[in-house]
């Protein structure tokens, strides 16, 4: 990644229409304040988490950050890490996960979620918990000409 990029270019191939089995996949978790699901302090929270990761000399596999919109006013963010991070809420995710990549404006999120539910049903899977992975910031999405969003869901 060069100095002009804050987000690496995302390759949708490994994530589109894939299933994964995770056992204790490591993340650090924090909260983002939202107003009607629109993040207010997302950048501040991400910078704080990345500083903790860098201080621990850890890595962020795939630059993955999963968002869980828990209400109109809160979003939990899970940033993937390769080891335990001091002074952070360390959590793990385990289970079977289904992913599908979408591309377009964030206003299409509702359509993507409905499509994903139908996609899971066609695969005879039940969505237990759905996460959104916003793969680049709006500035980098504009620069790259693509705004990829991955829906990744724990399934049963």
pLDDT for 146 = 95
pLDDT at position 63 is: 92
Tell me what pLDDT residue 156 has. 86
Cα–Cα distance measured from residue 42 to residue 142, given in angstroms and rounded to the nearest whole number = 18
Q: What is the mean pLDDT of the chain?
A: 93
The reported pTM is 0.91
So where are the chain's domains? 14-155
Task: Give the pLDDT of residue 55.
Answer: 97
**Predicted local confidence at residue 1, as pLDDT:** 44
pLDDT at 102: 98
Residue 33 pLDDT: 94
pLDDT at 3: 53
**What pLDDT does 125 receive?**
96
Residues of the chain with pLDDT under 70: 1-5
* Beta strands per DSSP E along the chain: 18-35, 38-39, 65-69, 74-80, 89-103, 127-134, 148-155
CATH 3.20.80.10 applies to domain 14-155: yes
3-32 confidence digits (pLDDT tens): 566 889 999 999 999 999 999 999 999 999
């Amino acid at each position: 990644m060069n100095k002009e990029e804050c987000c690496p270019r995302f390759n949708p191939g490994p994530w589109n229409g894939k299933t994964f089995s995770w056992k204790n996949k490591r993340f650090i978790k924090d909260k983002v304040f939202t107003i009607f699901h629109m993040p207010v302090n997302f950048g501040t929270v991400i910078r704080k988490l990345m500083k903790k990761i860098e201080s621990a000399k850890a890595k962020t596999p795939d630059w993955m950050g999963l968002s869980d919109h828990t209400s109109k006013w809160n979003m939990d963010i899970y940033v993937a890490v390769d080891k335990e991070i001091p002074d952070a809420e360390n959590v793990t995710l385990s289970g079977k996960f289904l992913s599908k990549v979408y591309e377009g404006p964030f206003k299409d999120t509702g359509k993507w979620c409905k499509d994903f539910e139908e996609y899971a049903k066609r695969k005879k899977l039940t969505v237990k918990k759905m996460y959104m992975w916003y793969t680049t910031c709006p500035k980098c999405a504009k620069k790259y000409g693509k705004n990829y969003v991955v829906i990744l869901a724990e399934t049963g």
